[in-house]
Amino acid sequence: MTYTICNKQFKNKEEIGEYIRQITKPYRYGEPLSDEHEQFMMTLLSYRGERYFEKVGCGVDHIYIRTHRVLMERYIPAFTSTG
């Protein structure tokens, strides 16, 4: 099965994960993603169906790289607006 996200083709979910690691690696902690990369992540989130609304709520102000306090790994939180 192939996946198309923002005009990019992926053979499987592992390729999507690798692409995410590739595009986020250059960012420093706390640095917001570029418009292109943020759009990719938002499109990916939209594929979650009903869970999409749980994640984005009223909307997303920005997405950036952060370290998980317990796991000490990089992750990408989406910060929602309060309005």
**CATH code of the domain in which 9 resides:** 3.10.450.40
28-36: which pairs have CB atoms within 8 A and are 24 or more residues apart? 28/65, 29/65, 29/66, 29/67, 29/74, 30/64, 30/65, 30/66, 31/64, 31/65, 32/62, 32/63, 32/64, 33/62, 33/63, 33/64, 33/65, 33/76, 36/6
Lowest mean pLDDT among 30-44, 45-59, 62-76: 62-76
**pTM of the predicted structure, to 2 decimals:** 0.72
Q: Does residue 80 surpass a pLDDT of 50?
A: no
Domain that holds residue 74: 3-80
User: What tens digit of pLDDT does each residue of 2-45 get?
Assistant: 999 999 999 999 999 999 889 988 888 888 889 999 899 888 87
- Domains of the chain: total: 1
